[in-house]
Chain A
Amino acid sequence: MNQPGSEPDLPPRIYLAVAVFAVVVLVGLYVFTSLYQIPLPEGR
């Protein structure tokens, strides 16, 4: 069982990698789907 201070925390670059990956996925998804999105007109 680990106790406080018994091991160094994960390096911040791992958190940065997750955050950057998430942003890239979001932006990529937005850009890619925007290329094909055509809003449906209102009403029947």
Chain B
Amino acid sequence: MTPLAWAVFAAFLAWVVWDGLKRSSSSANLEDYYAGGRSIPWWAAGLSVMATQASAITVIGTTGQGHEGGLGFIHTYFGLPFAVILLCIFLIPVYRAQPILTAYEYLERRFGPETRALGSFIFLLSRCLALGVVINAPAIVLSAMLGFPLYASILAVGGLTTLYTVFGGVSAVVWTDVKQMSVILVGLLVCFGMLAWDVFGELGLQGALEAAGAAGKLDAVELVPAGEGWWPAAAGSDAPKTFWDDKYNLWSGLFGGLFLMLSYFGCDQSQVQRILTNPTANESRRALLLSGFVKIPMQLGVLAVGVLLWLSHAASGDEPLLYSPADLQRAEAPENSAELARFESEYRAALDERRDALKAWVAVDGEGGAELARFQAAVREAVAVRTAAAKRFSREFGTAAEPAGKKGDTNYVFPHWLMNNLPPLLLGLVLAAIFAAAMSSVDSVLNSLSAATVVDFWRRFLSPGASDREQLVVGRVMTFVWGIVATATALVLVSGSSIIEQVNKVGSFFYGTLLGMFVLGIFVPRAGRLAGFLGTLGGIAAVLAVHLTLRVEFLWYNLVGLLGVLLVGGIVTLFEPRRPLPETAPADAV
């Protein structure tokens, strides 16, 4: 990187930290610190919601997925617009009826303190470990690209974000997110424009679309699931794919994605907190609906950057065999040199053939059967060689026992292009955008973890009579503590500990259960204290049972958790005598 690129990059980081820190004086109590004094406008909260979801993994990983697999990943977001509509109608009135600070306060009003504590604990467990990955994954890629140690990247993202979040609270989170989201959008638009100029100049718009279509990069809406059969296969079996483990099709996207987005936007404190910062319920609704309008087109744009990058590689016939510098260095070791040379030679031939076949296919305007067959065979051959090389040499991502192979190497595709194609000013800006994406996800989660810990546990059970000043100090201390935990988790992940990855995976299984708790509370008025608590345990048990026994794609776990809560909670409701709930804790009864 040139000094100019470093200067742009450093200036952006300094601006964000300063912007966050200057809001430290705006908090006089927890209402200010966690809810921004309920004065944040809807558009800022809406952009913050989007910035939280657009992590650096999104920017790096999704462009890489577009490069390798085309537009298929967009299926995940099909349920989002419908989810935010349902949340606006059914959940926002519940949240905004009382001046709550965490989503889980509602669970106490509805089911009692133990269910609130359980809901909040589930959130803390699933989020704190996931946060380590949010910091760690982009840090691995950035440190490889920038050439400085991994721990330095982790400390930069974790440390700087913790600094401004501790002092500025949710106001700093929202207003820095607005700037970070703007930089992310500008950065992606610049990359899209540069790649489109390059590819359309070489192949023409029509040629580019025909080439992408023939290479399987435009499978954006799969109406027919690829799986056979409607009963899920047993976990670990070699049985053919069924409907339930086909990852990307319209139905898993619309329905599986719907429940994922209902859980994420409606029950995850890291998102709910932003819709509690607006002055009115309608402003909260508008903040959520912004994602309903913008998210799918935006994700399509991100994936399209990856597809354009693939077309650029295909048209030039120039593409690395391995993108990860660390993996490449490993492959270049003397004991591997003969094997690497063989892979390189096969790949060179495959890329030349792919380039020539692409030109021939475009030259006949997508009409020649022989040209099509040649091009598709060349695409498959290049993928096969790269997959084999990545399987042999890639050790980045995944676990020591089970490396992610080409899937892990995919994360380096976009940064590799950035480093080799952008002029210094733009390179600094886009790398800042990737850092911004990491920070905008981390800051929201830090603030929400602190809110859940302080409001749902410390203030509720340990110190209900604390003064505003005491509460604010504890809020800041807890944000700092969670910042340390998140950064330390990211540093531990450096060693490739499979235990933490497994715990992180298990943590994310609980989303559907959280959704089920709220659905039971809102739609089953008779459900009482025992139904809420046992229903929650039933949801967790259902997801774990399905995970251990059946081969079901992750998106459906949310539906399983929801149904588990409703089934167990519904049965308990039939037998539970109706008793009034105990009084809400004084500190919470605002």
Contacts and interface: CB of A to CB of B under 8 A. Distances in A.
B84 A18 contact: yes
B349 interface: no
A7 to B, nearest CB: 6
The dominant DSSP class at the A interface is loop
Contact of B89 (A7, A15, A22, A38): A15
Nearest to A27: B221
B220 A2 contact: no
Interface of B: 38, 71, 74, 78, 81-82, 84-85, 88-89, 93, 96-97, 99, 209-210, 212-216, 218-221, 223, 279-282, 285-286, 289, 292-293, 296-297, 300, 372-373, 376, 379-381, 384
Nearest to B278: A2
The 9 closest A-B pairs by CB, nearest first: A36-B213, A22-B81, A30-B221, A33-B218, A18-B292, A2-B280, A40-B216, A33-B220, A36-B209
Most chain B beta-carbon neighbours within 10 Å: one of A29, A35, A41:
A29
A18 B219 contact: no
B272 to A, nearest CB: 16
A27 B214 CA distance: 21
A21 to B, nearest CB: 6
Contacts of A35: 209, 213
Interface residues of A, number: 28
B216 A33 contact: no
Nearest to B590: A1
B88 A10 contact: yes
Given A3-B97, A10-B285, A18 B221 contact: no
Contact of A10 (B71, B78, B81, B286): B286
B85 A15 contact: yes
The dominant DSSP class at the B interface is helix
Contacts of A29: 74, 220-221, 300
Interface of A: 1-4, 6-7, 9-10, 14-15, 18-19, 21-22, 25-26, 29-30, 33, 35-41, 43-44
A25 B212 contact: no
Contact of A37 (B88, B93, B219, B289): B219
A29 B143 CA distance: 37
Nearest to B208: A36
A21 B281 contact: no
A22 B218 contact: no
Contact of B78 (A18, A26, A38, A40): A26
Contact of A14 (B215, B280, B289): B289
B221 A33 contact: yes
